[in-house]
Structure 1
Amino acid sequence: MIDFFAVFIFLFAVIDPIGTIPVFIGVTSLFDKKEKVKVALKATFYSAIILLFFLVAGEYVMTSIGIPLSAFQIAGGIILFLFALSMIFGESKPDVELKIAPKQSETAIFPLATPSIASPGAMLAIVLLTENSKHTIWEQTQTALVMISVLLITMVLMLLATQIHRVIGNAGASLISRVMGMILASVAVTNVLGGVTSYFSLSL
């Protein structure tokens, strides 16, 4: 049995549904209500497909090219930590992704599905949370369900984006994104330490 609360917080931090709100508003500003609903549904669907692929096949891809999961855990933790630092000290998620939004017409896929929702950090996180040697199929299924619940929350927030944005504004979304970055940084350090411990225990 997984720790549902811990996994939920981890995935909520790395997927960052709140930070997606201004991105969604920016890329759908010229769309009518019906089109906005379609974009939100498509972005959620594509994100789920991407993350489920990494959940099922991510570890097999790593092992097939001879990379031990402990090394991937260390590398993933470092990347997640750098990702968290960018959330805390760099431009906020909304600021960065709104800049790249006008470059792509298929907004449901880019920048919404990726890199906004199914970000590189989220892809790494889902692999680390479903390590085959540590988690049973049932536990991995539970993680998948938690992931889907976070994606559904993201979808609901996109559908309510206009109303929510009126309340919190860009500044509020940026603040929440930075708090999520702090949580993610702590989780990333834990992953690095766990990977180092696992690597040296296997070497001895």
Structure 2
Amino acid sequence: MLETFLAAFITLFVVIDPPGIAPVFAVMTSGTDAAYKRKMVFKATLTAAVILLLFAFLGKSLLSALGISMSAFRTAGGFLLFLIAMEMVFEKRTERREKKAEPDRFYDALEEDPDDISVFPLAIPFLSGPGSIATIMLLMSENHGHYLDQALIIGALLATLLSAVVILLLASRIIEFLGHTVANAVTRILGVILAALATQYMFDGIRTAFFAA
């Protein structure tokens, strides 16, 4: 039992990669208050949990009913992630936040909230992307009919998402100590890395589609 749980936890932790997501999250939420960060983390984690549990139990039948392949899902996710990466490189998100911070008598009464990044890109595709969806589907299908093992896999998934909550909240505080100049440099660097990751998603999706054809 312990071996099943640990194997599932390690696999899901590596695939979801909370430490890799944390710096991107910290930079994307720079300049926002702690309440906003907590809201984004908890909302994203809950959304990711619902999505992953949905695919864990329905999985292939759901995608098949919608006529969507994992290749198409991966390619579309990569494209959307690439758009976010471009905004990070050219600091479009920072510009929007600065404009929202400018005094305006009309908008003071109708103050806009910061961008909601909880569903995209934090929940999808970071926490519940094609990789984690495929992984949970595979783990559940390998233990089809073994209900105790499947329960342990679901427990490992929830433990992984809980660890993601802790890591994301801690990373935000660390980035705050770096200062505005360093944060801007980190934003651009992570934007380039994110663009490369998004491109890899698209390449993987297209390659898989061609090989499967």
TM-score band, normalised by shorter chain: 0.5 to 0.7
Residue matched to 2:15: 14
Quote how far apart the aligned CAs of 1:137 are.
2.1
1:115 pairs, out of 117, 122, 125, with: 125
Compute the RMSD of aligned alpha carbons: 4.0
Quote how far apart the aligned CAs of 1:51 are.
0.4
- 1:96 & 1:147 partners in 2: Cα distance? 29
Matched, 1:148 2:149: no
Quote how far apart the aligned CAs of 1:138 are.
2.1
- 1:55 & 1:150 partners in 2: Cα distance? 15
Residue matched to 1:42: 43
Quote how far apart the aligned CAs of 1:6 are.
1.6
3-state SS of paired residue (1:22)? helix
Quote how far apart the aligned CAs of 1:30 are.
2.6
Say if 1:133 and 1:159 are closer, same or farther in 2 by CA, change over 3 A: closer
Say if 1:42 and 1:143 are closer, same or farther in 2 by CA, change over 3 A: same
3-state SS of paired residue (1:29)? coil
- 1:40 & 1:55 partners in 2: Cα distance? 22
- 2:46 & 2:35 partners in 1: Cα distance? 17
Quote how far apart the aligned CAs of 1:3 are.
1.9
Give the total of aligned pairs.
Answer: 156
Quote how far apart the aligned CAs of 1:119 are.
1.1
Quote how far apart the aligned CAs of 1:29 are.
1.1
Q: Percent identity?
A: 32
Greater Cα shift, 7-16 or 20-29: 20-29
Residue matched to 2:31: 30
Say if 1:95 and 1:154 are closer, same or farther in 2 by CA, change over 3 A: farther
Say if 1:3 and 1:164 are closer, same or farther in 2 by CA, change over 3 A: farther
Say if 1:42 and 1:108, in contact at 8 Å, map to a contact too: yes
Residue matched to 1:130: 140
Say if 1:21 and 1:158, in contact at 8 Å, map to a contact too: yes
Amino acid at match of 1:111: P
Amino acid at match of 1:10: T
Q: Map Cα deviations across residues 46-91 of structure 1 (whole Å, 9 max, x no partner).
A: 01011001001004336779xxxxxx9xx89xx99xxxxxxxxxxx
Quote how far apart the aligned CAs of 1:134 are.
4.0
- 1:29 & 1:18 partners in 2: Cα distance? 17
Of the two, which has the highest radius of gyration? 2
TM-score with structure 2 length normalisation? 0.58
Any residues of structure 2 matched to 1:81-120 within 5 Å, and which? 98-99=85-86, 102=93, 105-120=115-130
Quote how far apart the aligned CAs of 1:12 are.
0.6
Amino acid at match of 2:48: S
